[in-house]
Structure 1
Amino acid sequence: MVLTTSQRKILEFPYKPASTLKVVAGPGSGKTVTLLHKVHHLVETGQVRPDEILILSLTNKAVDNIIEKLLSVFEESNDENKYTAYELQEIVGQIHVNTIHGLANRIVIENEGLVSIIEENGWRGLMKLLSQDLWKNKHSKLMTPRELQKMFNEYKLGNTRKNEVMERLMKIMKDCQIFTNDDLIYNAPKYLEHPTDRIDYLEGQCFTRALMDEFKVVLVDEFQDLFPSVLPLLEKIAANKQLILFGDSNQSIYNFLGDNRTVMDRLDKLHTAENFTVFHLYDNFRSTPEIISVASKIMRYKVDLNELAKRDLVLKGPSGVYPEVQEISDPVEELEALVEKICLIVCSGAALSDVAVLARTNAHVQIIAEHLRFYGIPFRKLTAQPDWISDSRIQFLISILRTAILVRRGIFEESDPLAAKRSDFSVIVTLSAIKGVGNQAIQSLFRICNEKNISLWHYITEVPKNEWPSAVSNRKKIETYITMISHLMEDSHLVEIEDPLQLLTKISKAAYSLDFAPMVIKGERELHDFKSNLHEMFRVIKICSLNKPPGSSLAEWFLESYVEQGAIQHHQDIQYQSGGLGAVNLSTIHSSKGLEFPIVFLIGGLTHFPIDQNLLYVGMTRARNLLYLNNIKHTGILSNLIARENGSALLNDRFWNYYNQDLKRPILYSAADSVKRYQKIQKKYGFNFIGKRTITTWNYKNAISLFKRLIR
């Protein structure tokens, strides 16, 4: 691959310990390509070994993208077949690529053993432990697990007065090794400073020590996403190493996590001023000049395109089509207009998979998804994590497995006095989920266990039931629960099961023997969703069976890694899922960052709140060729675009030739054929009938049939 002048400067910048190289790279500037080639150059020139390089990002999506493309860069640069395919895979496999949370998780697990990351079912279980006193003046009947999580996080930050109940929750979570994602970030640097004795007994290389002593280069992708709580971890890792930062402050959209400027000020000063260098990438391989021109008008730091044109830069030629603005006050008509535009551009020769619809919230994305589904238009959601992980039934299955593993550990690991009590949280989560086991029962059992300093499992299995607190009324349900967990622990030696299907079958049978209300499926749609999510869980268990470390059990490795492995699998599915014209991509603007699409619909919704400037900039710069702005509340957009007219896309042969050439596709555009296809749809659904809500007269089966014919 031929790199630009500015990219070559970054590649050739030498390795130097205790130094910082900052690369400011705008959207579409070839940032990821430059990062990958920089890694290759460091290895190929012998400046560092591949196992001395660490690449970090905040999202699984970005990490997955780097992992997938890294091998391709090494293969393309393998001049005169210097290395065999196997040798290249070995080299690339030694380079460490992690999310920052994944890195923190690995450090914590290495020092603490199996830990649990709390999810919605966990917060719901914790709510059962809380007395009504906590909810005074807080409308307890409306309290949700998410609200408890928010209250807990605020308490940990010291934003509220000392509270006995919250203190007790913190102790429960500490004793049971329950972590929030923030806890992982907070604890990891402490273990780097003071590792636990546990790492002395690890087989093979100790990652905690290697991270501090053996790595030489740390590359951080998307530095504008960093937030203050990751600073101690990054500073600890990058000290005395070469820190290479890639990003763009104009794309900083996570300010609700903390001020990114504070982070960058500290990282810029991590090493001495003479060892701090900044390069810029101004090239743009993605967006048309028309899109760049409009996007630059809403940036905090304006870009003069005329000035850039004088430099030695790579820019695309003009398309002749500017972004379009539309304001529609009726929410149904807004959705109708979206469907009409999608039909129009597909009839003109675009694929459905070329199209991305970006909204501000997940709730708005869901509304759009339902509207497309009603038409029979295929779509896929580009969520940060797969849907199956968020399914309450799947979470219950995972909680059942975790309970069995931790209870078993508590029984057999007598040398660890805390091992028995570490199962308390999982027992609370699973037991409290059973219909009929009320809050008072959970609170009474947990209170007496604390008084006796024994685990909850030990109490309900060893203490005669006639000695239990009177508040524990539904004892038969608890007896069934004990039998089920005991059977799961003993049957086929749970930790020895190596077959993914056998493991999932055991967990599912155990869960279905309990009276967990969500396990009662209502309706075909719910059944379809659960079967699909269960299949995805099975796929991840299969992946775990193939990559688990030697000596680890499948059940334990799945519990340790399912979140990260599930996310990687999810993003691979999104990338490779295609057929015919594919499917429309649906996403929040936040989740779309780092991606690009030929055609983007940016949907502002009917909220009166103006869109954040950086968020708008990120959304606009996802587009390569066509950009539609619907109900976007921003003065820069309205004043610069409202008067622009592009004419009918169906008849714009110049643009569609440009479009196909840009995407390296055959130029087969025919205005006559496009008009015929669109007229067929227009006649079917009555598009352009102003004010007419055709949603009430849609025929779902006919819509699906029509789009199948279009795909052909």
Structure 2
Amino acid sequence: MDGTQQRRTTASASASASTLRTRANPQQLEAIVATDGPVLIIAGPGSGKTFTLVERIVYLITERGVAPESLLVVTFTDKAARELTTRISNRLTEVGVAFNLNEMYLGTFHSICLRLLEDYQEFTRLKRSFTLFDQFDQQYFLYQHIKEFRGLLDAELVMGEDQKGRWKQSEHLLKWVNKVSEEALDPAVLMAAPEPEVRALAACFTRYQELLAEHNSLDFSGIQYEALQLLEGHPDVLATLREKLTYLMVDEYQDTNTIQERILLLLAGERSNLCVVGDDDQGLYRFRGATIRNILEFPDLFAGGQCKQVRLTVNYRSHPDIIRVYNEWMAAQIWDDGGRAFRFAKQIMPREADFPDMPTAARLAARDEQDGASNWHAEVLTFLNSLKASGQLADWNQVAFLFRSVKNDRVVDLARFLEGQGVPVFSPRSNMFFEREEIRLMIGALIFLFPQFSKIRAWAEGVWLPVWEYYDQLCFKPFTDELRKPENKPLLEWARPLAKRHVVLAQNTDYSFSGLFYQLLQFPLFSRFLTEEAVQGVDKGRAARNLGTFSKLLTKFEYLHYVSVLNPEFLQKNLRDLFNQFLRFLSEGGIGEYEDEAEYAPKGCVSFLTIHQSKGLEFPIVVCGSLEAVPRKQYGDLDILLEDGGYLSKERFEPLEQMKHFDFRRLFYTAFSRAQNLLVLAAQERDGRGLGKSPSKYFERLFYELPSWHDVDLAALTFEAVRQINLKREYSFTSHITVFENCAEQYRFFKELEFAPIRESPMLFGTLVHQTIEDIHKTVLRGEEGTITLEGIKGWFSTNYAMLSKKERVYLAPSSQQAALQHVLRYYERENGHWDRIKEAEVEISLVKDQYILKGSVDLIRGEGDTVEIIDFKSEKKPDMEKDRGRLEQYRHQLEVYAHLVEQRTGQKVSRMHLYYTGEDGGNPYVTFKKDDKVIDRTIARFDDVVERIEHQDYQMAARPTKLCLSCDLRPYCDNKNWIFKKND
């Protein structure tokens, strides 16, 4: 947004913004208008933190004249970022401010740092097309290279002895290489340490970094590590970002780590317009490297009381009795050591309102006989049924059970019991993915298709893996039982000859494991999970989405193990790797099921969540379990060695012996404060000492001082509805609208249910041409066009091809490589000397609309004066204007969407829109379209209609798109589907 437009918008929005801010209480208002210099906002639970953040951003834009793209706003989770984006966009729309989301740095630390690395990639070690690891990818990568680490001197001091096994060693290694990254430790200093453990850590980290570089890869922790290297090593980049990003805001600051603090202070610079928001009482992520000292010591980073502090202590969420409980819980802990305080002193106060004069914190208890948990299960069910019978509970989703872990056997047993009694349970992180019927049947089917499966157990004498029992009894047996049923006869007739073929496979097939997966979907045993009726059920199509996740796991395995087809020479090894390693490690480590970001408490289900998962959420009724818990330390000998040896950037802050107690109090404070109308502490009572006692001594007094839930008049309570987030979804022309219009069923599978396509061949040729042209544009936009040479272009091209082909594992013949290079050189020769017309290149643009966010990526914007022209590159020959009219029409619609986005974002008029065909040899490479506002309005209206159909899950089609069907993974499924076509309007 340019300055004139910004001032005009500010003037019109100011009055409206001021009026809406009257909803703020005095403390919130103080935080909203405190914009310059460092600001610390301590926001207790339910104190309107997100409201305050949103209003502060609106105030900066509307009354301080700050351009939205000058703000950096950091959230803790992707879900929080999406909610904040939606709320900010709604508020700015209310006051008449248009802004480009893509130019506003809003997201998690990792997403923002990744954006910096992509924007300034030429200044980093990363090459184009780098691979980003999630946590499982990272550990599996370490596992695959574990021999290299075992060969390092004293490596066992870091990752344990070989007897622990490669997977356990890779787990230890994962923890320590991430600690070096998150704490921004200096490998050179570690390497020179007198302690062998520290030197071994340095050697492991250094070798790991070398392996990442060799594979052009980046892990989750490394995103921030590389961003810090970028900012510290390139003052020009840092100066550019400081000039652009003038106001910084960080949510959940109590959960930041050392490297994040360093990045923020670098970006804030001398202006120090850094506002951090958080609650030291809810610091939960020490195990991920977070340090509570960041928020507690934040004021001390700035001289002379420069940091303004605001405390938000009025709770708008909870009944006063619930607030009393968690205030007392925190008051029971000593939070200082006589000289230093390890908590900001605060007392949370309820809002002014008429509350029912009755207890709203209660206990739920049952003591079981030695023969089982029946009393406990029965008591929980009685409580839930009483809630229902009270007439005050509108939906099961108003109830959330919170636990330290949802993978605990007692928690899983309770969830199974409730589901058996007709109370659906939503527990996406309970590690039940591999217990689900659809997953067990799919694994069973794959085992059946490879009778040599039994041989993979004989690779070493005496070896027995527990996962084999799971495969035999819970996967293979149920599948073969199903095959005996008459309705599954077609599946048996398909699978039996295929299994026989695989036993004596003599030549390569034209399919892999993922190909067999898509073949299996055609049969009713699996297709029943995929119908639109099944997907729209109470559980949001959990089974269909689990199968989608399984498709992604299979394609990931095939990528990691270079499997494109079944090869007789490697088939047995592939089977061993798939079942004995990949799926085994996933099942042991656990994999989460689908979670709808827009609905954290699905209708019709009681939620079973970890306390960590519940952070930032609120529920009318919270049942807090895990009361047998006791404080436990989260550090080991090497942690102490690093601290005592002075290898960390700061000296130790909290006393080691107190840390586990502090963390314990913070964890359950977070749990208790999620409750709005009723807090229930639940314990399966057991006598004993230490870990055998329930509730443990830490909860005993609090627990037994609370009234039994039987003594609470549930009918006298009012339970609020679960808060709706209503997150706006993002849609683009090519990734969404075109896919949906070409085939709504493909959209349903690959976009909505997130299946992984396998026949989607990488567009290597086109991407290679695009990337190298982008290198030219970036050099021009830096004002360095004089440095561009033919040899330099060939160098960029060669590097791009090396990285792309390595990542995609697809290769071009030398003649195709030469042809792609000619596309680039032709473009350079034609445009050389006219670079002054280029205004922007590879522009990501977004437009916030009432119901969704419209996104697009424009190849090039150029122009003269107040108008601009849009160019979209096509790496092919110019098409026949008559024969290819349909395709050109689709491209024109795409350009019209881009034109709409550009005009809305910049206020500049688009004069012309072009397709540029880099493959055109002799003639004019352009196809030019005039910009017609009325036509564009119709295109956007059509876009709106398609989005509405998607949002309402209307996937009916007039007919199957036969051309697309020929090469579609879903063809077997669709061939057997009972199609009901929508009549043409």
Check whether TM > 0.5: yes
Name the structure 2 match of 1:339. Answer: 381
Name the structure 2 match of 1:617. Answer: 669
Match of 1:363, SS state, is coil
- Cα 1:116–1:385 shift into 2, 3 Å: farther
Q: Is the 8 A contact 2:254 2:290 kept in 1?
A: no
Distance 1:20 1:282 in 2: 20
Q: Is the 8 A contact 1:130 1:165 kept in 2?
A: no
Name the structure 2 match of 1:509. Answer: 515
Name the structure 1 match of 2:105. Answer: 96
Distance 1:130 1:26 in 2: 45
- Cα 1:152–1:620 shift into 2, 3 Å: closer
Bigger drift between 183-192 and 111-120 goes to 111-120
Question: Within the alignment, does 1:181 sit opposite 2:240 as a pair?
Answer: no
Q: Is the 8 A contact 2:363 2:709 kept in 1?
A: no
Question: Within the alignment, does 1:378 sit opposite 2:387 as a pair?
Answer: no
- 1:42 aligned to which of 60, 71, 96: 60
Distance 1:105 1:663 in 2: 31
**CA deviations over 1:138-184 (Å, ceiling 9, x no partner):** 57575363641322432674655538777644422231133332211
Residues 504-543 of structure 1 aligned to structure 2 (within 5 Å): 508-509=514-515, 531-535=544-548
- 1:124 aligned to which of 129, 136, 140: 140
Question: Within the alignment, does 1:229 sit opposite 2:259 as a pair?
Answer: yes
Rg (Cα) greater in structure: 2
User: What is the deviation of 1:274?
Assistant: 4.4
- Cα 1:302–1:56 shift into 2, 3 Å: closer
Scaled by the length of structure 1, the TM-score of the pair is 0.60
Question: Within the alignment, does 1:11 sit opposite 2:32 as a pair?
Answer: yes
Distance 1:624 1:317 in 2: 12
Q: Which amino acid aligns with 1:37?
A: E
Name the structure 1 match of 2:244. Answer: 214
Q: Which amino acid aligns with 2:321?
A: E
Q: Is the 8 A contact 2:429 2:609 kept in 1?
A: yes
Q: Which amino acid aligns with 1:628?
A: V
Q: Is the 8 A contact 1:297 1:636 kept in 2?
A: no
Q: Is the 8 A contact 2:681 2:703 kept in 1?
A: no
Residues 521-600 of structure 1 aligned to structure 2 (within 5 Å): 531-535=544-548, 570-575=595-600, 577-578=602-603, 582-600=604-622
Q: Which amino acid aligns with 1:363?
A: K
Q: Is the 8 A contact 1:60 1:99 kept in 2?
A: yes
Name the structure 2 match of 1:443. Answer: none
Q: Is the 8 A contact 1:118 1:178 kept in 2?
A: no
Match of 2:329, SS state, is coil
- 1:355 aligned to which of 399, 405, 412: 399
User: What is the deviation of 1:439?
Assistant: 11
Q: Is the 8 A contact 1:298 1:636 kept in 2?
A: no
**CA deviations over 1:219-248 (Å, ceiling 9, x no partner):** 111111112232222222222341111111
Match of 1:280, SS state, is strand
Name the structure 1 match of 2:625. Answer: 603
Q: Is the 8 A contact 1:192 1:212 kept in 2?
A: no
Question: Within the alignment, does 1:252 sit opposite 2:265 as a pair?
Answer: no
**CA deviations over 1:356-411 (Å, ceiling 9, x no partner):** 111001313544433333223222236599979x99x9xxxxxxxxxxxxxxxxxx
Q: Which amino acid aligns with 1:104?
A: C
Higher helix share: 1
Distance 1:210 1:619 in 2: 42
Match of 2:677, SS state, is strand
Bigger drift between 114-123 and 128-137 goes to 128-137
Q: Is the 8 A contact 2:282 2:669 kept in 1?
A: yes
Distance 2:208 2:507 in 1: 24
- Cα 1:127–1:662 shift into 2, 3 Å: closer
Distance 1:139 1:567 in 2: 30
- 2:131 aligned to which of 115, 120, 135: 115
**CA deviations over 1:339-367 (Å, ceiling 9, x no partner):** 22222212223120101111001313544
User: What is the deviation of 1:645?
Assistant: 2.7
**CA deviations over 1:312-345 (Å, ceiling 9, x no partner):** x646634512311244454554333222222221
Residues 338-487 of structure 1 aligned to structure 2 (within 5 Å): 338-348=380-390, 349-350=392-393, 351-364=395-408, 366-381=412-427
Name the structure 1 match of 2:704. Answer: 642
Distance 1:303 1:648 in 2: 35
Name the structure 1 match of 2:295. Answer: 264
- Cα 1:322–1:652 shift into 2, 3 Å: closer
Bigger drift between 54-63 and 213-222 goes to 54-63
Distance 2:621 2:366 in 1: 20
Name the structure 1 match of 2:870. Answer: none
Q: Is the 8 A contact 1:224 1:247 kept in 2?
A: yes
Q: Is the 8 A contact 2:542 2:594 kept in 1?
A: no
- Cα 1:145–1:318 shift into 2, 3 Å: farther
User: What is the deviation of 1:39?
Assistant: 0.7
Question: Within the alignment, does 1:279 sit opposite 2:310 as a pair?
Answer: yes
User: What is the deviation of 1:291?
Assistant: 0.4
Distance 1:482 1:50 in 2: 60
Percent of paired sites with the same residue: 19
**CA deviations over 1:453-480 (Å, ceiling 9, x no partner):** xxxxxxxxxxxxxxxxxxxxxxxx9xx9
- Cα 1:641–1:535 shift into 2, 3 Å: closer
Distance 2:146 2:250 in 1: 41
Q: Which amino acid aligns with 1:354?
A: Q
User: What is the deviation of 1:630?
Assistant: 1.6
Q: Which amino acid aligns with 2:422?
A: G
Distance 2:346 2:262 in 1: 37
Match of 1:628, SS state, is strand
Scaled by the length of structure 2, the TM-score of the pair is 0.45
Name the structure 2 match of 1:145. Answer: 167
Distance 1:60 1:144 in 2: 32
Distance 2:698 2:377 in 1: 24
Question: Within the alignment, does 1:191 sit opposite 2:197 as a pair?
Answer: no
Distance 2:60 2:114 in 1: 28
Bigger drift between 230-239 and 168-177 goes to 168-177
Distance 2:613 2:147 in 1: 38
Structure 1: runs of 5+ lacking an equivalent = 198-205, 394-432, 441-476, 489-505, 514-521, 540-565, 665-712
Match of 2:407, SS state, is helix
Distance 1:482 1:214 in 2: 59
Name the structure 1 match of 2:42. Answer: 24
Distance 1:122 1:481 in 2: 35
**CA deviations over 1:181-215 (Å, ceiling 9, x no partner):** 22112111111233599xxxxxxxx9x87633201
Distance 2:211 2:281 in 1: 42
Match of 1:574, SS state, is coil
Question: Within the alignment, does 1:295 sit opposite 2:326 as a pair?
Answer: yes
Q: Is the 8 A contact 1:58 1:101 kept in 2?
A: no
Question: Within the alignment, does 1:58 sit opposite 2:76 as a pair?
Answer: yes
Match of 2:355, SS state, is coil
Name the structure 2 match of 1:321. Answer: 359
Q: Which amino acid aligns with 1:614?
A: R
Q: Is the 8 A contact 2:319 2:355 kept in 1?
A: yes
- Cα 1:507–1:106 shift into 2, 3 Å: farther
Aligned alpha-carbon RMSD (Å): 5.1
**CA deviations over 1:568-603 (Å, ceiling 9, x no partner):** 99443434843xxx2112210011111000000101
Q: Which amino acid aligns with 1:116?
A: L
**CA deviations over 1:628-660 (Å, ceiling 9, x no partner):** 11237465743245144366478544x23x446
Distance 1:587 1:46 in 2: 41
Name the structure 2 match of 1:629. Answer: 681
Distance 2:542 2:263 in 1: 39
Q: Which amino acid aligns with 1:572?
A: E
Q: Is the 8 A contact 1:383 1:591 kept in 2?
A: no
Distance 1:196 1:533 in 2: 47
- Cα 1:37–1:569 shift into 2, 3 Å: farther
Q: Which amino acid aligns with 1:173?
A: L
User: What is the deviation of 1:618?
Assistant: 0.3
